[in-house]
Amino acid sequence: MKPEKYLKNYINGQLVPPISGQSITLYNPAIGEVYAYAPDSTQKDVNEAVEAAEAAFPKWSKIGIKTRFRLMMRLADIIEQYLEEFAQAETTDTGKPITLSRTIDIPRSHSNLRFFATAIAHFSSEAHQMENQAINYTLRQPIGVVGCISPWNLPLYLFTWKIAPALAAGNCVVAKPSEITPMTAFLLSKACIEAGIPPGVLNIIHGYGPIAGQAIIEHPKVKAISFTGGTNTGRKIAAIAAPMFKKLSLELGGKNPNIIFADCDFEEMMATTLNSSFANQGQICLCGSRIFVEEPLYERFKAEFVKRTRMLKVGDPTSAITNLGAVVSDLHREKILSYVELAKKEGGKVLCGGEIAEVGGKNAKGYFLKPTIIEGLAHDCRTNQEEIFGPVVTIMPFKTEEEVLMYANSVEYGLSTTIWTNHISRANRMAEQIHAGVVWVNCWLLRDLRTPFGGMKSSGVGREGGLEALRFFTEAKNVCVKYM
């Protein structure tokens, strides 16, 4: 299960080069150098993948839950067996600390497959009786060929999060990982071959979003799209897919509030807040990037948070003691730094970080940034309204629940929120009024795969996770039988 220098598409059970013969250059963000090449696929490759998926669908959709379960569990076992190879590949591709790849990204990927392989066996549909007249029962049938498109921040984790429910429900899939981080999706292709996944059931196309990604969205035979990525991309995808009446699940950006009341468990909150601010270099759509602290706690929080942030180790992601690795690309680092400049112009004071982290040796040319805390900004300035998607957070004091609720809900996004308090009624009151699809009380990123997951407002449309994902990847058909 070794990474290769020249990645291939996985179509109809075969590893094949792109028809164009062109490739995309892949950089190791922690080294700042080219290390591999991915296929620069076009509509022609997508057409072949859709054709293969369409041909595989009749058999796969009728093969039976037990067989689908067995094959998906085998695929999960292979990922687990090669966990170290997958983890190393993920870290090379993304710049994230190896500890994260080993303990979160890859374990969650095989869990996704196991979870949905099992969930489908517990999936049921409804029946509605019309007294003395008729019985309605609802069939939940696989849709056919579906498209799954995922981003670069949690590559295999999010790729499998979409593919697993689609396959478990009996669909055939054409999937595209991010062109910035395609290596573990390529390894997944090899794992599929080893697991004996029937040809055409899963097809993995590599390529640029506006070319290969868009070809998947536009293809008339792709009936449903599950997408995670930027809000602007989601908007473009919706504009193409809506007039074709495709089913859409969009998991987009976030600008999540972290609301800290003075009565919280300080130690637990501090340790988790460091994590929710800077895990994966702040490149998780669920990171809490706006931190609101109740006034009596503000100064104590600020002093401790800055002190602990300064102690975080930025550096070689292959080292087990690194807290923050590299951000995903040079371009992305520029974008993040431009927001720090904007924050200063808007009157913000940089309490720590705000600049490139100089990491020497083999990492001298890598894309590192110091974790950054900014204070003194209004809740409605651009820095506090737009998604930065890096290791940058703002801190702001508040006096009342009403005030902080207004701040929290003032953005266009509505993905997740964290609330820190030991006051149970307040936690429930806040949770009810907050604009977010996911609310954590006294914790962060504690995920039960059975729960609905997704955002409101510009953070997306639809919910993934558990039965929601299985509902999304099936077509409901009601059958009404009259009593005679």
Binding site for ligand TXE (CB under 6 A): 149-153, 176, 178-179, 209-210, 213-214, 217, 228-230, 233, 236-237, 251-253, 285, 387, 389
For residue 109, what are its two tokens? 């990927």
The residue (of 48 and 316) whose beta carbon lies closer to ligand TXE is 48
Active-site residue flag, 381:
no
Query: Shortest distance, CB of residue 338 to ligand TXE, whole angstroms?
Result: 12
Rounded CA-CA distance 72/78 in Å is: 10
Contact residues for 110 (Cβ-Cβ < 8 A; gap 6+): 76, 77, 79, 80, 160
The residue (of 272 and 416) whose beta carbon lies closer to ligand TXE is 416
Query: Shortest distance, CB of residue 399 to ligand TXE, whole angstroms?
Result: 31
Rounded CA-CA distance 110/91 in Å is: 17
Query: Shortest distance, CB of residue 22 to ligand TXE, whole angstroms?
Result: 15
Contact residues for 176 (Cβ-Cβ < 8 A; gap 6+): 147, 148, 149, 150, 204, 205, 206, 207, 209, 212, 213, 216
Query: Shortest distance, CB of residue 330 to ligand TXE, whole angstroms?
Result: 13
Query: Shortest distance, CB of residue 298 to ligand TXE, whole angstroms?
Result: 28
* N-to-C CA span, the chain: 61
Residue among 281, 271, 282, 176 at smallest CA distance from 222 = 176
As to burial, measured by CB atoms within 10 angstroms (0-12 exposed, 13-18 middle, 19+ buried), residue 318 is middle
The amino acid present at 215, given as its one-letter code, is: A
Kindly tell me the sign of the dihedral angle through the C-alpha atoms of 339, 344, 349, 352: positive
The residue (of 30 and 46) whose beta carbon lies closer to ligand TXE is 46
- Element (DSSP H or E) covering residue 430: helix 424-433
The residue (of 120 and 392) whose beta carbon lies closer to ligand TXE is 392
The catalytic position among 251, 294, 387, 464 is: 251
Closest CB to ligand TXE belongs to which residue?
209
User: Are residues 326 and 281 in contact, defined by beta-carbon separation less than 8 angstroms?
Assistant: yes
Query: Shortest distance, CB of residue 477 to ligand TXE, whole angstroms?
Result: 29
The residue (of 48 and 179) whose beta carbon lies closer to ligand TXE is 179
The residue (of 127 and 239) whose beta carbon lies closer to ligand TXE is 239
Give the SS3 label for residue 52. helix
The residue (of 251 and 294) whose beta carbon lies closer to ligand TXE is 251
For residue 460, what are its two tokens? 């997306």
Query: Shortest distance, CB of residue 110 to ligand TXE, whole angstroms?
Result: 20
What are the DSSP E strand ranges found in 90-236? 127-130, 134-142, 145-149, 172-176, 202-204, 222-228
The catalytic position among 148, 285, 287, 464 is: 285
Rounded CA-CA distance 60/42 in Å is: 26
Query: Shortest distance, CB of residue 112 to ligand TXE, whole angstroms?
Result: 15
Q: Which residues partner with 142 through β-bridges?
A: 474
Active-site residue flag, 172:
no
For residue 251, what are its two tokens? 């998991």
The residue (of 116 and 389) whose beta carbon lies closer to ligand TXE is 389
Phi, then psi, of 232 in degrees rounded to 5: -65, -40
Kindly tell me the sign of the dihedral angle through the C-alpha atoms of 161, 167, 169, 175: positive
Residues with catalytic roles: 251, 285
